[in-house]
Amino acid sequence: MRRTIKLDYADAIGGVLLIVGGIWFALYAMNYDMGTARRMGPAYFPFGIGCLVALFGLGCLLGALRRAGAMPVIEWRPFFAICGAVLAFTLVIERFGLIPATIALVLISALADEKPSATVTIILAAALCLVGVGIFSWGLGIPMPILRWTN
C-alpha cells in the first residue's frame, strides 16, 4: 500500500539547502573578527545574513510540509551539453585562442538539441567564428588571442 505524502518537493529541497547554506555561511563568518555593535568587524554583517538565510530556509521548509507539489524534473541532456560547452570554452580559450574555443563551444552545445544536425552545426560554427573575431577582436579591439599553437 502506498501512502501519499503531502510535500511540496521544490520548497522542501530549497528550504533544506537554504538552512544548510545559511548555517555554514554564519559559521564560516566566525573565522573573522566579530567586533562590537559600535565598531562592526568583518564578521558581524555576514554572520547576521547567514542566520537570516537559515531562518527563512526554515520558513520555506515548514511551508512546504503542508501542501503538495510536483517533484522538479531535471532536463539532463541540455544541462550537461550547455555546461560542457561553457567548460570547454574555458579550457580552450587561454591555451588555443578564440577560434578553437568557439568551435568547441558550438559543437558541444549542439548536443543539447534532441536531433542535432551536423551540417547546420558546422555552418553555424564557421559563421560564429567570423562573427566573434569580427565583432570582438576587430570591431571592439578587445585584446584576445585568435589562434595560437603553443602555450
Query: Under rule CB under 8 A, which residues in 67-86 are in contact with other proteins?
Result: 67-70, 72-75, 78-79, 82-83, 85-86
Neighbours of 10 (CB within 10 A): 14
Output phi, psi for 117, to 5 deg: -105, 125
Interface of this chain with other proteins, residues 88 to 147, rule: CB under 8 A: 89-91, 93-94, 98, 101-102, 105-106, 109-110, 112-114, 116-117, 120, 124, 128, 131-132, 136, 140-144
Q: Cβ closer to other proteins: 2 or 7?
A: 7
Rounded to the nearest whole angstrom, what is the least distance from the CB of residue 40 to other proteins in the complex? 5
| DSSP structure string for 38-103 | SSB-TTHHHHHHHHHHHHHHHHHHHHHTTS-BPPP---HHHHHHHHHHHHHHHHHHHHH-HHHHHH
68 residue type, one letter: A
Cell numbers given for 54? 537559515
| Interface pick for other proteins out of 1, 4, 5, 66 (rule CB under 8 A) | 66
Rounded to the nearest whole angstrom, what is the least distance from the CB of residue 49 to other proteins in the complex? 5
| Interface pick for other proteins out of 20, 27, 34, 63 (rule CB under 8 A) | 63
